[in-house]
Amino acid sequence: MEYESVKSDDGRTLLFSVGEFYEKIVLQNHCFICGAPPHSKEFNNEHILPDWLLAKYQLHSQIINLPNQLGQLYGKYTIPCCKDCNSELGDKVEIPMSRLLKLPFNEFTGALANSYETFGLLFQWLNLIFFKTHLKDMHFDWTMDKRQESAKIGASYTWEAMHHIHCIARSKYTHAFIAPEVMGSIFILPAIRHGSIPQFYFHDNTAAQTILIHLDEIVIIGVLNDSCAVLSTLSNTLGRITGPLTPFQMCELFAIATHCNLSLKNRPVFYSEISGKDGYQIKADLPTLEFDQDKAGTTVGELLYFQVKEMITKTPDTERILAEIKDNKRTYLFNRNGEFADHRSDLR
């Protein structure tokens, strides 16, 4: 659906048209929340992964992997944001999220189950991180060789699809009400805690709009654009997971969720409605749930392979194991009898 941009009575842009969004936010470095042009007010730029999280996991000096195979320091990984919007994001999103994510696993899931608002906050936070990560890719070239003409990594993205993510990501600023049918699938699972396992991991899939964040004993897998289709399809698989996950298990579940989302035959259609009576609402028209395996254009094995190939410890068997993963011949979640493969006792 093509929109005109809509402003509020006090001059804030409630809704950017796709064209204005692309020109100002994606190409011209305007504040990604309010749309203020660069140099029109004070900017202090926003970390992609919030500062509290970088500090907690000592990530400021660590390298994030980019799709061009070159690294960038997490601490320098920021996008244009004005000072006002940055502090509003801090107060309304990052401070409550940092409190929520410091809770023990059971209290964390309890807080989400008991409050639609808290669940909505987590959903917005996932959209925010996903959006910021992809906006940043407009700043990186595919090649660092200055002799060559190079395209920005983000130039290959479908920015129309990212427009909806942007609407959710800035909904605290616009006071948009997010209707329940807009909420995506969110899986919350426990992770094994052990000295040999890094306590932070982040991964996303651009085409599927899926995101994985692992923080201590909490694993969050979000599907941002499926209106819970993946959650209802995979409820049986999730029900069979009866213990905390290893890194490979979380990656496998992420690959399964990503593949499931890519296989949806018809997608929800998201739209914005703004009226004097009801304010700004983000809604969705839901199609019937049908799958087309060919539509995914990939397999669970291939998705898992691309994710774990950098994580696997190099041994003489590495090549064979990776080939088997790619061929869908290995599963880490379940044993031959279909029972959950619980690795707690191996890691004592």
Binding positions for Zn ion, rule: CB under 5 A:
31, 33-34, 36, 82, 85
Minimum distance, C-beta of residue 90 to Zn ion, in the bound complex (Å): 13
Half-sphere exposure (Cβ direction) of 251: Cα atoms closer than 13 Å: 22
Minimum distance, C-beta of residue 136 to Zn ion, in the bound complex (Å): 17
The whole-angstrom distance between residue 241's C-alpha and the CA centroid of its chain comes to: 22
What are the structure tokens assigned to 235, written together? 């409820």
Type and span of the H or E element at 190: strand 185-190
- Count Cβ atoms below 10 Å from residue 316 Cβ, excluding itself: 6
Nearer to Zn ion, 168 or 189 (CB): 168
What are the structure tokens assigned to 300, written together? 């669970």
Nearer to Zn ion, 41 or 309 (CB): 41
List phi, psi (to 5°) of 23: -65, -55
Minimum distance, C-beta of residue 222 to Zn ion, in the bound complex (Å): 25
Nearer to Zn ion, 34 or 221 (CB): 34
Minimum distance, C-beta of residue 21 to Zn ion, in the bound complex (Å): 14
Nearer to Zn ion, 36 or 325 (CB): 36
Nearer to Zn ion, 176 or 229 (CB): 176
Q: What's the start-to-end Cα distance of the chain, in Å? A: 54
Q: What is the Cα–Cα distance from 133 to 237, expressed in whole angstroms?
A: 29
Q: What is the Cα–Cα distance from 157 to 161, expressed in whole angstroms?
A: 9
Nearer to Zn ion, 25 or 250 (CB): 25
Minimum distance, C-beta of residue 295 to Zn ion, in the bound complex (Å): 38
Minimum distance, C-beta of residue 34 to Zn ion, in the bound complex (Å): 3
CB-based contacts of 323: which residues, under 8 Å, 6+ apart?
A: none
Local structure of 332: helix, strand or coil: coil
Beta bridge partners of 57: none
Minimum distance, C-beta of residue 43 to Zn ion, in the bound complex (Å): 8
Minimum distance, C-beta of residue 81 to Zn ion, in the bound complex (Å): 6
User: Angle 202-124-83 (CA atoms, 0-180°, nearest 5)?
Assistant: 90
Q: What is the Cα–Cα distance from 118 to 116, expressed in whole angstroms?
A: 6
Nearer to Zn ion, 51 or 88 (CB): 88
What are the structure tokens assigned to 176, written together? 């948009």
Nearer to Zn ion, 84 or 273 (CB): 84
Q: What is the Cα–Cα distance from 41 to 64, expressed in whole angstroms?
A: 30
Contact in structure between 131 and 22 (CB atoms under 8 Å): no
Beta bridge partners of 271: 283
